[in-house]
Amino acid sequence: MANNNKEIEIKIPVDNKTFSRVKERLSTLAKFEKKSNQTDSYFTPCHRNFVEPKFPFEWLSIRSRGGKNIICYKHYYPENAETNTHCDEFETEIVSKDQIEKIFSVLNFKKMVTVEKERETYLFKDEFEIELDDVKELGCFIEIEAVKDFGSVEETRDKLFQFAKKLNVDASKADKRGYPYLMMKKKGLIK
């Protein structure tokens, strides 16, 4: 959930024990929002391959969320960097996922991977959205996203890392690339 089309978050892979411990901690610290099953299919245009750079910085996806379908484009900054600090996120609901996929096919967009996850969402003081993700083929992750404007990107990232520490999660192990990249790497589609 981007704030003014800007998303600032950290995503930390964790083992099952840490995942359960954080879930228990959140039950007393934050407000449970919802549980959902989510499927995100990622595409790239053939005329501008999003995974061609060493560190991809653009993603186009069709997201399925509880009966809703959403088209989403993300552009990460800094571009071509191993670690991103934030991204522009533009999304809108679509009526027919199948029709959008047909349009993509006609326009020569190629489907790269699909990411499936079970997600539990919590809200902490209208400051952070915390998502506990069990991602098929990738494992468990804790995602912490700022929903409040803390000022600069750097100040906001600092608050995210402080909150991770409050949850007793080692944020130094934060994922730098995101689920689509991890899935493509696992499937041998990128090096």
Answer for the pair 16, 140: CB distance below 8 angstroms, yes or no: yes
pLDDT in the model for residue 1: 52
- pLDDT digits 0-9 by tens, 137-160: 999 999 999 999 899 999 999 999
Residue 46: give the domain boundaries: 6-185
Does a structural domain hold residue 14?
yes
Does a structural domain hold residue 160?
yes
* Mean of all residue pLDDT scores within the chain: 94
pLDDT in the model for residue 99: 95
Does a structural domain hold residue 190?
no
CATH number at residue 103: 2.40.320.10
Task: Name the 3-class secondary structure at 14.
Answer: strand
How many structural domains are present in the chain?
Answer: 1
Does a structural domain hold residue 23?
yes
- Rounded to whole angstroms, the Cα distance separating 137 from 160 reads 26
Does a structural domain hold residue 18?
yes
Please name which of 107, 98, 110 lies closest in space to residue 69, comparing C-alpha atoms.
Answer: 98
Answer for the pair 137, 148: CB distance below 8 angstroms, yes or no: no
- What pTM value is reported for the model? 0.91
Per-residue pLDDT band for 5 (boundaries 50, 70, 90) equals confident
- pLDDT digits 0-9 by tens, 32-71: 999 999 999 999 999 989 999 988 999 999 999 988 999 9
Does a structural domain hold residue 177?
yes
- Rounded to whole angstroms, the Cα distance separating 20 from 37 reads 18
